[in-house]
Amino acid sequence: MNIIVIGCGRMGAELAYSLFQQGHNVTVVDHHPAAFDNLHPDFLGRVVEGNSLSQDILRRAGIHQADALAAVTNSDSLNAVVAHIARSIYHISKIAVRNYDARWLSLHEVFGLPVVSSTLWATHRIMSMLEETHLRQVFSSDQGQVSLYEFVVPDRFRGSRLQTLFPPEECVVVAVTRAGQPRPPAQVDSLQTGDVVYVSAPPVLIPNLQQRLDGEVNSPC
C-alpha cells in the first residue's frame, strides 16, 4: 500500500519504519526538518518537509495515490483536520488518528475518526498494573465499552476448568498462552500455573469476574 504518515516524532518514526519493513511504500510528512532524524537509518521511504495542511505538501506526499493515512503528530487539532481532509476530499478510506491530549478526544469523535488515544491506553494499563487484582486490562477502545483483559493463572487455580473460571454467559475467552505459545481456547480444558488467559467482557460484568478471580469467592472450581 501507499501510506502517508503525518508527523515524524517518536511515534511517527517508529510507525513509518514498521510499515516500511512490512513492504509498504511510506511517505513521512513533517514541518520540522530535524524531525526526520528520528527515522531509523534503514528507512528508505520518502520524506516531505512542510505544513501538512498545505494542498501542495499533500500533493507532493502523493495524497492522490495514497491508500492509507496516519495522522500522529502531537497536535490533536492538526491530526483531526488532516484526517478529515484525507477522508472527505481525497476519499482515503483507511485512516488512523492519534489522540495526544485526552481532553481533546471529543474533537476526533465529532469528525467520526478512528482514533487511538495513547495517553488513555497507557493510563488504564498502568492503573491495572498498580491495582491489587489478577485481572488486568491490556486494551480498551470505544471509551472502554470494548476491553481486553489478561489473567495469569496462579497456582491455586491450577487444574481449574477454563469454562468454570470464565463462564461463556459472562465473558469471551479470546486466547490462552502456555509457556509463551498461543492455544485456541477450545483446545484448553484445564488450566496450568502460569497460563495467560485473554478475555473480553462487558464493563458491567468485570467487577464480578475480578472478585471471583481474586479469590473472594471460596470455590474457584
Domains held by the chain: number: 2
Per-residue confidence in pLDDT tens, the chain, 221 aa: 999 999 999 999 999 999 999 999 999 999 999 999 999 999 999 999 999 999 999 999 999 999 999 999 999 999 999 999 999 999 999 999 998 887 877 777 777 888 887 777 777 667 766 665 677 877 766 555 677 888 888 888 899 998 888 888 888 899 999 988 888 888 888 899 999 999 988 878 888 888 878 764 444 44
HSE (side-chain half, CA atoms, 13 Å) at 170: 14
pTM, to two decimals: 0.66
Q: List, in sequence order, every residue forming a beta bridge with 155; answer none if it has no partner.
A: none
**Distance of alpha carbon 132 from alpha carbon 214, whole angstroms:** 9
Residue 76: domain span: 2-116
The three cell numbers locating residue 150:
489478561
**Distance of alpha carbon 143 from alpha carbon 99, whole angstroms:** 13
The three cell numbers locating residue 25:
511504500
Phi, then psi, of 16 in degrees rounded to 5? -60, -45
CATH number, domain containing residue 199: 3.30.70.1450
125 found inside a domain: no
221 found inside a domain: no
Q: Are 112 and 138 in a shared domain? A: no
CATH number, domain containing residue 89: 3.40.50.720
Q: Are 141 and 102 in a shared domain? A: no
